[in-house]
Chain A
């Protein structure tokens, strides 16, 4: 039978009369938890931003037709040679087209899949940007701008332009930032392009595209699917690529495999495409947690130290309490609750300070060419960090308080009283 009200009131008196030590111990926890919240929010915020930079632009599954040599040569089919060694020199790629066969039906089929959020067609082709006598090689991709905006954040990469204009303006093109710079073009200007076959077309610059990846911005431009089909002189079912966005990214490899087998197409999933990228974020997370835990452990030792000191100073009080009827367990609870109060107050303060610091960092301008979508440092406000933070504060103060308080429990009052 423990009288918690009494124990807490004794603990409170001890803490308040030793306010300076209490404050220092609590600030130790505050510092640990505050830096944990700030650090983990900042680091995972950066990670998420870098992840999303890739994830937003990269389809979960990318389907296209690859030009490759036939695996089966006619000689393989001829039964007479079945048991012979066949040697064929100078194998050439099969005569085939980039077009995905029956693409529109395939898209319909894919969109019926429960896991698929969207399957979006593209038409890719190589072109030349013509400026006077100069021909600049590049890529033109025909897209459905509004779908690209909804599923692949295409709008984030457009400067001084609205994605709608690609559909609304006749023969509109979004020029890569590098191309626009080289050709001194800005929105509203006209640009002449020519296909590989030599046909040239005038297009209207409706906007500038900047991904932050220079190699891409120097060659890549976008137009509507219809415009590109018209330039190439191909019909409406001419589709070269299909990009799939899934509800659950984990399903990507399975779906890619299925498509490869079922439709005899190339299908690359995002995990395969960005394997090394994932390793990078895992290691960054690991470092974040290592640093945070170190901070919290240091704070824990601070609490241990201060409680030890407090108990040493309170030897007399402990003896008196025990001599007047308090049990060892009562005394232990008195010191444990002091530790927990320090942990709780320090921890909550740490969460508040961590949050405030995060808000400050969140406002600090962070502008870089490489990341056109970002204007301030990114912060992840995941509530789980706050739960983990306060949990760790309580657990570490519990552990730090446990040993000293057990010592207090076992102090023999007679030893103290006799010592006077």
Chain B
């Protein structure tokens, strides 16, 4: 028997790996020093731990030097620092930023904020798989463009962007390139020696590390990248991010990065197998199931499916022992369907029926099989309750119906 509830929402967050907790424990207890204290061993021990963490994270993305890693409170802050820091730092050079419609809110809302300050932002369209075309990035560049911000992998649909191609274009055009790699780091190989990304946002809690710690990679190159700080104070992190360092968090983030890197090729295979078992199990046993996102260009563990004629929140209610999420408006406070699904052309009627499953390090084949059974059972039951399914079985084309539009 599988242990319930089953957690299968690993893009939202991941459980702390027990090995990570073990690495952190001394820094939550006896090694409590401030990494900025230069006058005693408490400080030296903390500083050494922080520098080890920096190295582990640098290695995960094959950065040239640990000095390229700036610690933050999480990827939301890292994205804010990249966007606002570069916008402010390069104000004299230009005021144009290029991003895409399916970015995380940390990027989109930073862009909206900058627009109020007078910056111009181009929000590129993506195709039906969520892919941005590198040539549309090229075409959007003007002599006022200071930054391109395109994420590595999307958290909702899992699509992996052509980051290397975009990097080459940015390099050729002399425009800085920021990449939110929160959903890619530790899940697929990232190599900063082969990828012309200048800034990269990372987060601890998506890779079995602790919450509340993240990093911004800033490439060491000439001329130096000037990211203006958001937080002023004691001048920590080379003045780019003041504040006493979260030593246990950084130790955990570092340990988590090392673990993710060590198992990466085998874990990618295992997660892909589990994901495909889930996708195949569901699509062969149920009709009218649609995949959202790219069939191959995706991070290994996540799959987003629309179960036509079954509203997502009602399905989640049936799957009470399974933690997954939905792009349905009914689950959101705003009652708007997912903007990511909207951007890839999934109509609201299908967005309402979408469920995201993200298998992770601690999921097993037995759990996947349990989830398949549970989803098949509840989709079947809810379709018996669905007037739309009944109409379709009677041969009625739902698009020909004049739904009362007053809603």
Q: Do A and B come from one complex?
A: no
**Which residues in B have some Cβ–Cβ distance to A below 8 Å?**
none
A residues within 8 Å of B by Cβ?
none
